[in-house]
Structure 1
């Protein structure tokens, strides 16, 4: 990866290997071998899935070390793939040359950040450790032992609990917000979940492979159902009828296939409108109080998590149905219908909050006041009239807004009803986006973003809270609340002013976390790829090196406009952005700069982090916030290669190569360490316990005060 636009910079292959190894490896990174080139050996093709700076060194030493029963690691210490027979080793059928080979995949899950509730350092059920006895923070990436040896479909970290989905689609939960012990436990089974969204409102949402959206309680105590019914706040709520009665006999139970776990109550969400034939949900995004869902036909839906879900207009929907009994496959027939109106005083000037005028002033500077009269002996000094009161506050019996509505007279019962999974079981289509094809939805803390597709491809709409300018609408629309979807004017941004103004601008990815929005923008048909950010800059979340807020999108220079030399095309091309994971106050960006060797091995997706770091969620080992993107140290994979070499009594080749790499620099003037965290690109999952044809890759996630790296199945 290059962080320079100069054509004189060396290629990626030349920068990432010692000079002594360049003569042993092909000088072409992306080009295919010429006809005169020898056919790769079986041992070189067995280095599938290796990533990092050591992958190239691995290709050179594989032949000599194959007799010792191990293959060189990709990143220093990373044991992604092994080629030595042993316990649990499986033989793959038919390798690239038809002779086959031996593989064994050893994944690991790394977590770091806030651990006051045992989220980033979970314990297993057979362990005596508890969240109270563990450290309050995990300063650097460390292996989560109960989750190791697992390839996941998804991972989500909340402030008080964690949620993961294993390769079979079963849900794992842990943390003090799940149960007091905080142990990792399997909860929802048989739903074939592919994606989860963890919220602080006591609910977890899951998207199944078939496109259904389910909800279940985050707390283990609330997941139990006794007698088929649950009473909360004096109101009896029926259990979901899915998986009961005649539906159980037709396959919803355990007679055919795997059924839902009876220990956990799950509710399948309905919709207020009928979906088209073949239409299903494909993505979920949750904010502090609202949930956004998108279908494969580009239709947008929203669901409130509590009565304040539309306080800033972030829901996009005002008429909602609450506390309706679930009816699988149809809309609710009864329930509480009300309107969740945004706070109408958010955009008004708070005159009543102005400080009083100073007392010691020259009388000539004071405004003229009328002289005292018998009817008013004391002159009126308040020249600012009070704001008029609303009709709802003055008229008895007036209709209350959603924020004033009480579901139960008792506050405890009211809070329990809001946290119940039956609070709202209906996804409501966003009226303003009806008929508009949406390609991506992202929910921030109290704002929402929609990236459009179809004929309006590349345009972005934003609505909801705009107190810090997180909608990116500019200074002319710097209102605290924008309840209607409004287009983000990228061309008016300061990032595209001046002589270098591009002809075309298209947004290809959006992300939202906390009070910051992120936009991946391609200019002039992909000739330049920029990352823009807008919103709260108090903790460095904008990544532009400043601590000020930005009402208009600003460029994150460190990861924007990156260019590199492509040996195949003979041109300098832009470096894309593979993923943007925005947490509540920090962000992690993965570049799309993986290198593919002639023998098929790939490595090298660089990771940058910046933003809020009070809980060590950036993984730098320090607690200071970062206003600019920064690399991380390589993941601490167990160095099993060194122990195998020592046991075999041969020379530790891995250690020798590692020391050689430590003596060279990155080849650029920018602070880019040669040894840094790099995620492995997509690799086939040979001889693992995964479905046939599954492809896995290393992924990173950013949550509320925590972060994680795991191996993810990209085609579940």
Structure 2
């Protein structure tokens, strides 16, 4: 056996030798863990980080300027072992103080840096929007922060995360511009305002139900009753709509605002909402603009003149016009998507204006906006709106294992088995690749045919347990609404003795340093995230933490199993410790 073999990588990221293809490695020296004797045949296992140090541009307690953030020398953050204090690391823009609570607003954090307000905590989930952030601590309570939440610089002295939902045992969050959606372990879905002035102090300590103001949380109900034992198990939020999946494979959708069905992303038109002045409900329709006015995007030369008034072409029915859709009470009911009632759905994803559902047999249905080809329907659909769930076609004998979406991008993780029993995995992408988000080395504004993402597709390694080649697949994929992606490769499950880390790759939009490479140029091919420019590649680990605290600073548990998870927010990237 060979160990401690040193590979030198090229500048543009992770070059790996395997039997199927060559992928690219980031610029770094890496140490490869124990590999099988078949290395001579060209099968190479991923290595693990030899150094136990993670570097960052540390910020001082009184940092107020971008210059100070940029000029500090890298310092050691932590050693990855059970005796270490848990550190959450982030980089990208500090727009609205979402990453750093006391640093200057708008200052960019150009390399992975410790986020002090999350020190010593392990989270259940994290959601970062453009101007506000939210997380669930170990106790299952929701905290919110950011200038968008506090209302601007007038509240600069009160930037600590504020607890806004307590005692609900929350396990998952989704955020939009005006709301935060929280899913409890028992399947209830709660809506909390993204504005601090719409959350009362009474609501922080114990929600006052029954008030008609914006001072409490709203628990969503389903328009169609759930069967005995059925509960909601997953959420996915777009810009103006929310998808929900139940344990029985049923799919529901919620109109978040009046624009929720602008491109048919809801999968239905008829809704009803509570009346602001009575206990009755108001029925109405949200019609896609392309249905109301098929010539909306046509030039004046080719546009058919209409004798109807402009009001007749509005996509919102008369009964819904004039209502305030900024309130969390505006819509409180999830509606089942009619076209999916006979489909058992295993996974959901939501882009900004599009929706995706993966069935339990590996098929994918997509609907909503298609102006960048983000539905992956190839050239079979030419319009920019698809109102009915339509199947995404993959190569023969290929099944989809997961779907991820964000903004105008969508990714499909697939696997294919040949006659030898060897499984190969591929990652396909479609949509808006102007910032390199497709990962295929091409910058293009529209990609309707799912394109193979390089460096993370077709990877194989030898498994001594199985006696054959096994795929290296994407363990997790986080897609930001601004067009950058963080991909965690499962290089830990078969790493062998001394292994245990997972490679973290990033690509796409980098205008706000969200790739963490110290540059602003966008990257069209997946490359390794490095702990500092020119340093070793960043590896994600799991361990038993000696101590886990909640966001009140109280010890929640000891010797708890946690793992590092990468999250791509709007202009930001974060690696945090998550409870396993």
The interval holding the TM-score normalised by the smaller chain is: 0.7 to 0.9
RMSD over aligned Cα, in angstroms? 3.4
Aligned twin of 2:73? none
Q: Distance in 1 between matches of 2:427 and 2:458?
A: 9
Aligned twin of 1:430? 337
Aligned twin of 1:544? 440
Of Structure 1 and Structure 2, which has the larger fraction of its residues in helix?
Answer: 1
**For residues 95-494 of structure 1, what are the structure 2 equivalents within 5 Å?**
104-123=83-102, 133-179=104-150, 180=152, 181=156, 182-200=159-177, 202-224=178-200, 240-241=209-210, 265-324=216-275, 334-343=280-289, 344=291, 347-348=294-295, 350-354=297-301, 386-389=304-307, 393=310, 401-402=315-316, 407-408=321-322, 417-453=324-360, 457-491=361-395
Distance 1:693 1:389, change over 3 A: farther
Given the alignment of the two structures, is residue 679 of structure 1 paired with residue 545 of structure 2, yes or no? Answer: no
Distance 1:333 1:172, change over 3 A: same
Aligned twin of 1:512? 405
C-alpha contact 2:501 2:540 (8 A) present in aligned 1: yes
Deviation at 1:597, TM superposition (A): 6.5
For each residue in 1:442-466, what CA deviation from the matched residue of structure 2 results, as whole angstroms up to 9, or x when unmatched? 000100000011xxx1100000000
Given the alignment of the two structures, is residue 591 of structure 1 paired with residue 489 of structure 2, yes or no? Answer: yes
Distance 1:566 1:218, change over 3 A: same
For each residue in 1:179-205, what CA deviation from the matched residue of structure 2 results, as whole angstroms up to 9, or x when unmatched? 0324322221111111111111x1110
Aligned twin of 1:86? none
Q: Is the partner of 1:159 in helix, strand or coil?
A: coil
Q: Distance in 2 between matches of 1:485 and 1:596?
A: 38
Structure 1 stretches of 5 or more lacking a match? 30-50, 58-75, 83-103, 124-128, 228-237, 245-261, 327-331, 355-383, 409-413, 492-502, 637-672
Given the alignment of the two structures, is residue 535 of structure 1 paired with residue 431 of structure 2, yes or no? Answer: yes
For each residue in 1:303-356, what CA deviation from the matched residue of structure 2 results, as whole angstroms up to 9, or x when unmatched? 011101101000112111223589xxxxx96222111111125654855434xx
Q: Distance in 2 between matches of 1:418 and 1:263?
A: 12
Of Structure 1 and Structure 2, which has the larger fraction of its residues in strand?
Answer: 2
Q: Distance in 2 between matches of 1:317 and 1:6?
A: 47
Q: Is the partner of 2:380 in helix, strand or coil?
A: helix
Deviation at 1:571, TM superposition (A): 2.3
Q: Distance in 1 between matches of 2:147 and 2:303?
A: 51
Q: Distance in 2 between matches of 1:520 and 1:299?
A: 22
Q: Distance in 2 between matches of 1:8 and 1:528?
A: 12
Q: Distance in 1 between matches of 2:517 and 2:251?
A: 38
Distance 1:711 1:386, change over 3 A: same
Higher relative contact order (CA 8 A, sep 6+): 1
Structure 2 stretches of 5 or more lacking a match? 1-13, 38-46, 54-75, 549-554
Q: Is the partner of 1:490 in helix, strand or coil?
A: coil
Pick aligned residue for 1:701 from 557, 567, 573: 567
Q: Is the partner of 2:443 in helix, strand or coil?
A: coil
Deviation at 1:505, TM superposition (A): 0.5
Deviation at 1:570, TM superposition (A): 3.5
Q: Distance in 2 between matches of 1:385 and 1:55?
A: 64
For each residue in 1:122-168, what CA deviation from the matched residue of structure 2 results, as whole angstroms up to 9, or x when unmatched? 24xxxxx6xxx345322122111111111000011100011111100
Deviation at 1:518, TM superposition (A): 0.4
Q: Distance in 2 between matches of 1:439 and 1:2?
A: 34
C-alpha contact 2:88 2:577 (8 A) present in aligned 1: yes
C-alpha contact 2:252 2:337 (8 A) present in aligned 1: yes
Q: Distance in 1 between matches of 2:403 and 2:465?
A: 30
For each residue in 1:272-327, what CA deviation from the matched residue of structure 2 results, as whole angstroms up to 9, or x when unmatched? 0111111111111111100011111111010011101101000112111223589x
